[in-house]
């Protein structure tokens, strides 16, 4: 029987807090219509129509080793793949359903290959599992907030047995926790209306999960839809509490704290374009410089960034996403010290960027240069050990210029006369103090 213990919890979360950056992957049958992962719901598509994609699914180019390599080269430390999304289609070989990848033309257990590939690159393994299931006959249809048949009276719920559905998805979670070795993250999605907590028989579920995977980290969506106030935040953790808060498509304006003022562990999950699953015409990709700064923002507020890719029908990560990952990786190869193991700093946010901190080192992220030497507000000049350019390691002197003589209590860094920063995206100064 699982019971919250803060010391054990903090130990369990150590690697996750240090990692700071992960890859989310939404992939399934919905990549074939290429109109997003909610296509069955948004278009109120009948099951019979959706099944044509089951018949077409081949996973022809699926190579999770390429995915894992791309994640690692981008500087990501963990990955989370949709083992089952809301449509109910399983990428794993579940004995409790025929609606699975092994029964398609792909004919393979895609999750087995994925976990092996992720471990092969030395990354942490995460699996996403939808609590919703629009394929299962016992999941509420008519009147549900999201089911494709929610507006069709003929799909009433009089013959549906909720207890049978709960047993079904519990069995599938047990399969994932039993058949694929050590799992590091289990990412449930999501609670809504009265479908939350013990409606999912969440205590029983989590007890089973933690007995099979004692070190696993679980998100907070057995209680809420992501960023809501769960029981851990409210200071009275339920047996099925989330280990981290999971705000979606938003970075909290400030770091998150519980009711007693303790920092909460959180992870912003964010898309590269405007959809999670592959969308053939959505080309509105966020540029890499923006995403680098959003990663820094998350870390500066004590959070993680889970950045999504949506592979196409054959299993290829889109070229636009791959290019973005490569550019992020180039920056991370020189500056990851300012990300891994870092968190919020105990000094004000500068106008020109952000600050992350690890131990006695403050990492000043400069997004633009300043007029005159760079003010390092919040740093006691009497405690300064050294200032270094993180990407190159060379010494940055403390300024002695006359221009800041009216600010005797502020430490300034002298970058020289060039108004253009060596890194136009984010130039990082490592400032060590005693």
188 within domain boundaries: yes
Specify if 1 maps to a domain: no
Question: Given this model, what pLDDT does residue 392 score?
Answer: 98
CATH of the domain at 300: 3.20.20.80
Q: Do 302 and 358 fall into the same domain?
A: no
- Structural domains of the chain, count: 2
Structural tokens at position 344: 């919020």
CB-CB contact of 155 with 137 (8 Å): no
**Cα(379)–Cα(374) distance, integer angstroms:** 12
**Are residues 351 and 313 part of one domain?**
no
Secondary structure (3-state) at 10 = helix
Confidence at residue 296, expressed as pLDDT on a 0 to 100 scale: 99
Q: Which of these three, 295, 318, 336, is where a domain ends? A: 336
The domain in which residue 422 lies consists of 345-433
From 336, 353, 381, give the residue that closes a domain. Answer: 336
Supply the DSSP string of 231-250, one letter for each residue.
TTTTT---TT--SBB--BS-
Question: What pLDDT score was predicted for residue 103?
Answer: 99
Examine the domain organization and report whether 213 and 300 are in the same domain. Answer: yes
Distance from C-alpha of 187 to C-alpha of 235, rounded to nearest angstrom? 22
Positive or negative, the CA dihedral 278, 65, 170, 1 is: negative
**Using one digit for the tens of pLDDT, what is the confidence trace for 63-102?**
999 999 999 999 999 999 999 999 999 999 999 999 999 9
* pLDDT level of residue 234 (50, 70, 90 thresholds): very high
Q: Is the pLDDT of residue 228 over 90?
A: no
Residues 362 and 328 in one domain: no
Q: Please state whether beta strands 124-130 and 78-84 pair in parallel, antiparallel, or not at all (unpaired).
A: parallel
Cβ distance 369 to 352 under 8 Å? yes
pTM above the 0.95 mark?
A: yes
Task: Give 272-338 as a DSSP string.
Answer: SSS-SS-BTT---PPPHHHHHHHHHHHHHTTEEEEEEE---TTSPPPHHHHHHHHHHHHHHHHHGGG
* Residue 420 belongs to domain with CATH number: 2.60.40.1180
Per-residue pLDDT averaged across 128-156, rounded? 98
Residue range 321-343: mean pLDDT, rounded: 99
On the CB side of 165, CA atoms within 13 Å amount to: 21
Residue 123 lies in a domain: yes
Beta-strand pair 353-358/374-375: unpaired
The pLDDT of 108-127, averaged and rounded, is: 99
Q: What is the mean pLDDT of the chain?
A: 98
- In this predicted structure, the answer to whether residue 229 has a pLDDT above a threshold of 80 is no
Question: What's the rounded Cα separation, in Å, for the pair 309 and 301?
Answer: 24
pLDDT band at residue 38 under the 50/70/90 scheme: very high
- Residues 155-196 have pLDDT tens digits of 999 999 999 999 999 999 999 999 999 999 999 999 999 999
Q: Assess whether pLDDT exceeds 80 at residue 226.
A: no
In this prediction, residue 120 has a pLDDT band, given cuts at 50, 70 and 90, of very high
One domain, residues 329 and 367 = no
Kindly state whether residues 389 and 324 are assigned to the same domain. no
Q: Which residues of 207-220 are buried (b: 16+ CB within 10 A; e: fewer)?
A: ebbbeebeebbbbb
């Amino acid at each position: 029987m699982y019971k919250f213990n803060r010391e054990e919890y903090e130990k369990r979360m150590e690697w996750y807090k240090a990692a700071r950056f992960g890859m989310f992957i939404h992939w399934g049958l919905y990549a074939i219509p290429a109109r997003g992962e909610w296509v069955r719901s948004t278009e109120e598509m009948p099951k019979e129509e959706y099944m044509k994609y089951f018949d077409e699914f081949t996973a022809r180019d699926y190579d999770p080793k390429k995915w894992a390599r791309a994640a690692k080269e981008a500087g990501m430390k963990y990955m989370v793949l949709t083992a089952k999304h809301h449509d109910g289609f399983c990428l794993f070989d579940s004995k409790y359903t025929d609606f699975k990848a092994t029964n398609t033309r792909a004919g393979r257990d895609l999750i087995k290959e994925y976990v092996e590939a992720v471990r092969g690159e030395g990354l942490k393994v995460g699996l996403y599992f939808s609590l919703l299931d629009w394929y299962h006959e016992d999941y509420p249809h008519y009147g549900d907030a999201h089911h494709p048949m929610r507006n069709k009276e003929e799909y009433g719920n009089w013959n549906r047995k909720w207890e049978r559905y709960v047993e079904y998805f519990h069995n599938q979670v047990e399969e994932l926790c039993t058949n694929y070795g050590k799992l590091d993250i289990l990412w449930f999605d999501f609670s809504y209306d009265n479908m939350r907590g013990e409606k999912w028989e969440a205590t029983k579920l989590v007890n089973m999960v933690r007995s099979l995977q004692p070190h696993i980290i679980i998100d907070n969506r057995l209680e809420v839809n992501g960023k809501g106030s769960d029981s851990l935040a409210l200071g009275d953790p339920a047996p099925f509490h989330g280990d981290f808060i999971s705000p979606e498509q938003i970075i909290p304006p400030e770091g998150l704290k519980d009711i007693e003022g303790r920092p909460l562990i959180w992870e912003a999950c964010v898309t590269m374009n405007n959809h999670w699953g592959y969308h053939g015409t959505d080309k509105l990709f966020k540029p890499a410089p923006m995403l680098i700064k959003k990663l820094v923002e998350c870390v500066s507020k004590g959070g993680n960034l889970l950045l999504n890719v949506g592979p196409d029908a054959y299993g290829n990560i889109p070229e636009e996403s791959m290019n973005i990952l490569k550019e992020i990786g180039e920056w991370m190869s020189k500056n990851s010290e300012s990300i891994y193991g870092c968190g919020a700093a105990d000094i004000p946010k500068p106008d020109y960027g952000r600050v992350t901190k690890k131990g006695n080192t403050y990492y000043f992220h400069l997004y633009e240069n300043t007029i005159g030497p760079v003010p390092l507000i919040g740093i006691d000049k009497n405690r300064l050990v050294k200032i270094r350019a993180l990407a190159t390691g060379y010494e940055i002197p403390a300024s002695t210029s006359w221009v800041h003589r009216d600010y005797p209590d502020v430490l300034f860094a002298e970058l020289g006369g060039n108004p253009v920063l060596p890194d136009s995206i984010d130039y990082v100064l490592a400032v060590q103090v005693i």
